[in-house]
Amino acid sequence: MKLELASLNFKNSSISERERLAFSEEEIRRIIHEIKKDKSVSGCVLLATCNRTEIYLSRRIDKPEMDDIYGEEEEKDIKKEKSAGELLLEAAGIFDFKGSFETKEGRDVAFYLSELASGLKSQILGEGQIVTQINNAWDIARNEKCTDSVLNVLFRNAVSAGKKVLTNVQISGVPLSSAYAAFDLIMKHYKDISDKKALIIGNGNMGRLMQQLLYEKGCDVVVTIRGYAHGNNTVVEGCKKISYAERYEYMEKCDFVVSATRSPHRTVKPEKVKRLSKIPELMIDLAMPRDIDAAVGEFCTVKNINELGFKTDVDEETLSRVYEIVEEAVSNFYHWYSYENSLEEIERLKGAMRKRLYGNFRNENIEIEQEEAVIELAVDKCVKMMIGGMHEFLDADKIKECRRKIEGRTRG
């Protein structure tokens, strides 16, 4: 199996590009099933958050003897397999995408995912939410039966590393997420919010965290609820709630707005804001795709997740402790992965050695009792001696090279 990753993230893309690849859970389920239809794909996991969309693939490697059993034209066709990014875009029905993916293969994928789960790739360094998001993406793929043993071991090790970092290494003095960054921006803007009124659009995890942070500072907080008949309508004690349809009516009474929904549609539109008798001076958008239309910025200050002022550094001692955990996770995975990838080639090596020994006995007219048992014993001891010399990881390519040399010198 071959690991492959294609990542569109906050470092290599604009927010508008990421919006096009912001998928709902229902869309994720459909897309991974579509990708799995490709004959080269053994397993896939699709991670979609505010700051990144990433496809992780475990791909079948064509049999090692491909160059011997296929002609040149057929071999060229085999090498034209679609990249992970191409498979994702095709499955999503996006054919005019101009952005570019960050790509990785093999061990680099394992290292990247463990770094990501440990909070080292987040906009907010040390963010704890990402490990939950990774685990959820893996759960979705497993429940849809779209993973394989390689991806299951890869994600299990990475999630374990992320949880270990959260438990044992304090990267920051406060829990980190986009909500904390937004809260910090609000406090820097107003200094004191005890006399301010805020509208929170959305009552998911991010919305409830914002409620808590603002209310604790004395802010008058109102939260929109989409429907009273279903969903989680419990708001933080002390905060008020209104229906989603009433948001513009209350917006006229508030100083700032924070929107954090999972809606695929804009929650704040410029034509509606323009008609308000009083427009809030600050609006913060924590959603992906964006909740607040960019044109609203003509009437007030609008900040999105790309503009929150994130923590991007950490002291070397702390970073060293995190990387110890990351390296351990990658090493654990790669020991398993290299062994798994080498099993088939080891059996081919044994076959080549048997053939060589049988050929030598025949050509030299050597006859011994229990010939088959003797050859099996010799082959097993030789193979164990050889792979025992690969101290860190079994290397399928080196085993293959050795086997081919044996085949090339086999007589008869």
Catalytic site positions:
50
Helix axes 107-117, 129-143, angle to 10 degrees: 130
Alpha-carbon gap, residue 106 to 334, rounded angstroms: 9
Q: Are 16 and 75 in contact (CB under 8 A)?
A: no
- 310, 123 contact by CB (below 8 A): yes
Distance from C-alpha of 260 to C-alpha of 54, rounded to nearest angstrom? 22
Please tell me whether residue 9 adopts helix, strand or coil conformation.
strand
Strands 2-9 and 102-105 come out as antiparallel
**What residues have CB less than 8 Å from 128, skipping those under 6 apart?**
119, 166, 175, 176, 177
Residue bearing tokens 């965290």: 209
Q: Are 239 and 229 in contact (CB under 8 A)?
A: no
Q: Give the H or E element holding residue 224.
A: strand 220-225
Secondary structure, 3-state, 166-191 = HHHCCCCCCCCCHHHHHHHHHHHHHC
CA-to-CA distance for 186 and 179, rounded, in angstroms? 11
Give the Cβ contact number of residue 197 at 10 Å: 15
Tokens read off for 344:
């088939």
From first CA to last CA, the distance across the chain in angstroms is 33
Angle between helix 107-117 and helix 149-168 axes, rounded to 10 deg: 40
d(CA 121, CA 134): 13
CA distance 284 to 304: 6
Contact assessment for residue 46 and residue 141, using Cβ atoms and an 8 Å cutoff: yes
Here the tokens at position 3 are 């690991």
Q: How many angstroms separate the CA atoms of 263 and 138, rounded?
A: 23
